[in-house]
Homo-oligomer: A and B are copies of this chain.
Amino acid sequence: MASSYGYPFEQQHCLSISQFSRPDIETLLSLGEHYLNLDVQKSPDNAVLTGKTLVNLFFENSTRTQKSFEIAGRRLGADVINMSVAQSSVKKGETLLDTAATLNAMNPDILVVRHSASGAPALLAQKLSGSVVNAGDGMHEHPTQALLDALTLRRHFGKDLGGIRIAICGDITHSRVARSDIQLLNILGCEVRLIGPPTLIPADADRWGVEVFHDMETGLDGCDAVMMLRLQLERMSGAFVPSKREYFHFYGLDRSKLAFAKPSAVVMHPGPMNRGVEISSDIADDPEVSLITAQVESGVAIRMGILHALSEAQDGIS
């Protein structure tokens, strides 16, 4: 049977950007674009997951991402079961395998999982018969965030992102969003730069196909887009950063620093924002430069696209 989107998407899981070919990514972005249309989202004709069960298993709190997957699954007709598990009860790898056995008994067609341990979704994928979607694992990857970022960029710059210069700024070391974004933007032919203090950029980052900068003025020069990362509260004082105030002075995005980028540059942030720490409110809320609202809009759409593609691959429609 022919796929509904042309290219034979044959991935069973969505665990990391590195697993996808360029055509896989084009397929997912095309499906995401399709579902950006609200009338399409809400049409009962799109219930391609009818009769399927999606388990939304979050070991870390994230109302935003969990609800985004819940809405995406429901709009596609799936039965969605939310499970929020306190971190404390799953400290050991052994117990994660017990969880996998419990989940297998529930026999979900798709498991969406967020976990503080890098590799937890991949481990579950080995033990479960259904598809696994990584909704963020430790400091490893957050592939659906990267795909929604790429979808957002395409809405602004058009389908071909080749040659677009993008700076990712802030705490690269601890960011799974950055790891997924870097890989995906490289695949799409962007020129990727990292900007941050030496304490927050890994020593081997120059081997990731990026250029590394430690000051905003040089790093932002000629950039088409600036992706700010969230500074986790626990890094805001002490070993990594002298203080919130000093961090904002050197790396927080405000009008004066944005002026180092191209005049047409746009700004992104995966949310939730620390206003006044990594980004100023006047930048975040300026519809002329901020794509942040468009990113949120892209979230439900790209997740519908990913679920759609995995479901068709399960059914052998590819």
Contact = CB atoms under 8 A, between A and B. Distances in A.
Interface of A: 38, 41-42, 44, 51, 53, 63-64, 67-68, 70-71, 74, 79, 81, 83-85, 89, 94-95, 97-98, 101-102, 104-107, 271-273, 275, 281, 285, 292-293, 296-297, 299-300
A74 B67 CA distance: 18
A106 B64 CA distance: 10
Contacts of A97: 285
A87 B271 CA distance: 18
A5 to B, nearest CB: 23
Given A70-B81, A85-B63, A106-B68, A98 B42 contact: no
A89 B35 CA distance: 30
A94 B281 contact: yes
16 contacts: A41-B107, A42-B51, A53-B71, A63-B83, A63-B85, A70-B81, A71-B106, A74-B81, A97-B285, A98-B271, A98-B273, A102-B296, A104-B296, A105-B297, A105-B299, A107-B300
A271 B102 contact: yes
A44 B51 contact: yes
Contacts of A42: 51
Contacts of A83: 63, 67
A272 B102 CA distance: 10
A277 to B, nearest CB: 13
Contacts of A44: 51
Contacts of A106: 67-68, 71, 300
A272 B89 CA distance: 10
Contacts of A53: 71
A80 to B, nearest CB: 9
Contacts of A273: 98
Nearest to A284: B98
A81 B98 contact: no
B81 A67 contact: yes
Given A74-B79, A101-B293, A101-B296, 13 more contacts: A63-B83, A68-B106, A70-B81, A74-B81, A97-B285, A98-B271, A98-B272, A101-B292, A102-B271, A104-B293, A104-B296, A105-B299, A106-B300
A293 B97 CA distance: 11
Nearest to A68: B106
